[in-house]
Amino acid sequence: MRLWSIDGKLLRTLEGHTDRVYGVSFSPDGQIIASASTDRTVRLWSIDGKLLQTIEGHTDRVYGVSFSPDGQIIASASGDRTVRLWSVDGKLLQTIEGHTDRVWAVSFSPDGQRIASASFDRTVRLWHIDPDDLILDLDVKLNNLLKKGCNWIRDYLKTNPNVSESERHICDGICSEDDLKIES
């Protein structure tokens, strides 16, 4: 892993992971860098390149990592379908389960009370720090997104006099009348 200046100058190389690094994150104070690797670890580094901590516990690749706004908690996203919360000294605080496929990204809300996770199961989930409290499960399947978008814009495309003839038909073939039925 390499640390670069904004002008493209290599500042230092951080060595320690035994496989690819997929995610990195700076602590809010900019003094610690967290890295997520396919070697199933999260590593914490000082800004001067010293390895501070190796965090182990995931049973599959770690794809994403994020610091809480106060810098005291690290969230990791893994191929083991979990998000794990760790203290900066490497102690496991919580395991959040619910995704049905690899979790590839995780991020804290600005107030640190919620976590968003994105998964290969094509969902984005929003959690309170309490792992049993799922706030929202967003179905982000592309087909559903296109259908919902077409449903929302269809009347506008048909009735707006400023829309060109070719633009009026951009949703043709994407959604049918059956797709426009409201499901509860």
Q: Which pLDDT value is given to residue 182?
A: 43
- Nearest CA to 163 out of 150, 175, 152, 154 is that of 154
Which pLDDT tens digit goes with each residue over 19-37? Answer: 899 999 999 999 999 999 9
Which pLDDT tens digit goes with each residue over 99-142? Answer: 999 999 999 999 998 899 999 888 888 888 765 555 555 555 54
For 2-133, give the CATH class. Answer: mainly beta
Work out the average pLDDT over 70-92: 95
Distances from the Cα of 27 to the Cαs of 34, 42, 125, 177, in angstroms?
A: 8, 14, 23, 49
Work out the average pLDDT over 64-92: 95
Domain locations in the chain as residue ranges: 2-133, 137-183
Q: Which residues pair with 54 in a beta bridge?
A: 43
Helix (H) or strand (E) holding 152, with range, is helix 142-159
